[in-house]
Amino acid sequence: MGHRILSFLKEWTLPSAIVIGTGAYLLFAYVPALDAAGTLLGSWMDTIFAVGLFTTLFITFAKVDFREMRLARWYAYLIGTQLLLVGSIVGIVLGLNLQGTERVVAESVLTCAIAPCATASSVVTGKLGGNIHQMATFTLISSLLCSLTIPCVFPLLEKASDVDFTTASALILHRLAVVMLLPMGLGWVVRHFVPKVYRFIVRHPNMAFYCWGVTLAITTGVTVKNICHSGAGWVLVLIALLSLAVCVLHFRLGRWIGRHVGERINTGQGMFQKNTGLTILMSYLYLHPVASIGAGFYVIWQNIINSYELWEFSHKNREKSLTLQQN
């Protein structure tokens, strides 16, 4: 029985993480007998999440050959497409002078479109057979770009914000340095100077993916908490549907671009897998608090799509293996 459960969790890591995160929050939130345990665990969650994300990125970057991190043509296509989408959304909001609920909904869509490529996108890209070196490079470029675009775009929608451009950019760059550059540097050190640890990482290729599953469970729990306490009512349904539409649009656009440049996996992941945690933070500083829920829903949708991609990839590999055995 235990073996079956473990096998199921290995094959369906991402959807299992979403279900576990959702169930854990609802259990501790609505069962009074667990209040004390919930408070204690809640105080640990930030630390567990930070350690899990750091470990995920460290393991991933330890396998990256930094000499292979070069610029690729598809970066420009993805960045240009993202800027076009962001400009279109801002143009609609300002051109139609949207107010009230309509403006909040539009802002929630913007938090999905403007987000940089997810820091852990290399993990799923590697599982799908993509190029983790190119994805790591694109993640850095995408994050640097957002340190400029978010402080420029968000104040256009909420002019009452007292957060200036320099402060916002510094906040994003600081987060980038802590979340990405530190594990990247440690990964480089281990790869070149700690061979025993590097060999251990290479022998366990799925370790980063399972660490990502832990962080996803926590992210999902926090997202469900924010949704339950938002008080947004029926607007939640509209935001959820629109964030799903944006997620699917990103995925389709990424794959479409990939077919034309021969990088279908990389462009698909680079376009639609987003660092929603960053835009949730920035939307709290600049936009209406409910707008951040769009990015919260987005992280659920993108991991459901990733789960399907991983299942499809695994299924095709099994079919190829069976065909080879039969021949």
- Which phi and psi angles does 117 have, rounded to 5°? -60, 140
Domains of the chain: 14-318 (1.20.1530.20)
Q: Are 140 and 75 in contact (CB under 8 A)?
A: no
* 98 vs 289: CA distance, rounded Å: 17
Q: Which of 212, 218, 246 is nearest to 58 (CA)?
A: 212
Q: What is the pLDDT of residues 194-224, one digit of tens each?
A: 999 999 998 988 888 888 888 888 888 888 8
* 96 vs 116: CA distance, rounded Å: 26
pLDDT band at 323 (very low <50, low <70, confident <90, very high): low
Q: Which of 282, 276, 315, 279 is nearest to 121 (CA)?
A: 276
Q: 3-class DSSP state for residue 117? A: strand
What pLDDT, on a 0 to 100 scale, did the predictor assign at position 312? Answer: 84
Beta bridge partners, 159, equal: none
Both tokens assigned to 228 = 């339950």
Angle, vertex CA 194, rays to CA 189 and CA 200, nearest 5:
115
Q: What is the pLDDT of residues 215-270, one digit of tens each?
A: 888 888 888 887 887 776 788 899 999 999 999 999 999 999 999 888 889 999 99
Residue-by-residue DSSP string for 184-226: HHHHHHHHHH-HHHHHHHHH-TTHHHHHHHHHHHHHHHHHHHH
pTM: 0.88
Q: Is 196 exposed, middle or buried (0-12, 13-18, 19+ CB in 10 A)?
A: exposed
* 320 vs 218: CA distance, rounded Å: 36
Q: What is the pLDDT of residues 291-312, one digit of tens each?
A: 888 998 999 999 899 988 888 8
Both tokens assigned to 224 = 């469900």
Both tokens assigned to 114 = 């403007």
Residue type, 111: T
Q: Is the pLDDT at 106 greater than 80, yes or no?
A: yes
* 287 vs 218: CA distance, rounded Å: 24
Beta bridge partners, 117, equal: 274
Both tokens assigned to 90 = 């801002």
pLDDT band at 123 (very low <50, low <70, confident <90, very high): confident
